[in-house]
Amino acid sequence: MKNRSLFLALTALILFSVSACNGGSKAGGEMKIENQADSVASALGYSVGSNLKEQFPDLNPEIVAKVIVEVFNGKENQIFNDPQVADTYIRNYLRAESEKKGLANKAKGEAFLANNAKKSGIKVTPSGLQYEVIKEGSGPRPTAESTVKVHYHGTTIDGEVFDSSVEKGEPATFPLGGVIKGWTEGLQLMTVGSKYKLYIPYELAYGARKAGAKIDPYSALVFEVELLEIVK
């Protein structure tokens, strides 16, 4: 499958289900851990269950387990008779769900930024980047070729933190040519010693891509950034 983590999860679930079918424990009964193989099966069950619950919150685990058992017992499936057809079905489902969520994120971000632009103290650049000056410094400004040292605190528009050098307790150093467009543009507006709040539309962030566990496709992002130093 295209989604490797899903493939590994389902593979592990198959192993776990087979272990259960071969006498590990009865469904709904007390699980007995008698040897290392049983412990591995338990670990797989926990890992796989957590993975599938995150990716498919509406999944019925009883159906998954039942169909796996039927496959290993040589019974025909009521819907699918070819693993490739089933894989394609899952990929299409994931793609459709991702697109649906992406469109919702896009609309939500656009509404947030439209409302935010009306607030006092918010400035908007021609690219659509919004920023708010928290503290103005007096040092030089970096260029697009500069390497800078900063403290930053990144959140979604709902306030969920996805990355923060402030929380890590250590500033970050990086070249402005190697970050998202909103950062490259926003940092060039700042002087050393400044602290700005950047409101970045999705097209200046990660676009249609998912970035990490907390940044979904088409997500507008918010960063509080303090420019500490121009390294070079």
**Do 62 and 136 lie in a common domain?**
no
**Do 64 and 126 lie in a common domain?**
no
DSSP 67: H
**Do 142 and 203 lie in a common domain?**
yes
Q: What SS3 state is found at 93?
A: helix
- Pick the closest to residue 159 from 208, 112, 105, 222 (CA basis): 222
**Do 64 and 133 lie in a common domain?**
no
**Do 151 and 60 lie in a common domain?**
no
- Cα-Cα-Cα-Cα torsion 85, 68, 64, 49, nearest 10 degrees, comes to -110
Does residue 83 belong to any structural domain of this protein?
Answer: no
**Do 138 and 66 lie in a common domain?**
no
CB 150 within 8 A of CB 110: no
DSSP 215: B
Number of domains in the chain: 2
Does residue 108 belong to any structural domain of this protein?
Answer: no
Does residue 107 belong to any structural domain of this protein?
Answer: no
Q: What is the pLDDT along the chain (232 residues), one digit of tens a residue?
A: 445 555 555 555 555 555 555 544 444 556 678 888 888 878 877 887 788 887 788 888 888 778 877 877 888 887 887 888 888 988 898 888 888 888 999 999 999 999 999 999 999 999 999 999 999 999 999 999 999 999 999 999 999 999 999 999 999 999 999 999 999 999 999 999 999 999 999 999 999 888 888 888 999 999 999 999 999 8
**Do 126 and 71 lie in a common domain?**
no
Identity of the amino acid at 220: A
Domain boundary among 61, 78, 95: 78
Handedness of CA 208, 209, 211, 217 (dihedral sign): positive
**Do 213 and 126 lie in a common domain?**
yes
Buried-state track 145-180, b at ≥16 Cβ within 10 A, e below 16: ebebbbbbbbbbbeeeeebbbeeeeeeeeeebeeeb
**Do 62 and 137 lie in a common domain?**
no
Angle in degrees, 0-180, between the axes of helices 61-72 and 36-55, rounded to the nearest 10? 130
Q: The domain containing residue 27 runs over which residues?
A: 4-78
Does residue 109 belong to any structural domain of this protein?
Answer: no
Angle in degrees, 0-180, between the axes of helices 61-72 and 4-19, rounded to the nearest 10? 70
Distance separating the N- and C-terminal Cα atoms of the chain = 44
**Do 128 and 67 lie in a common domain?**
no
**Do 141 and 54 lie in a common domain?**
no
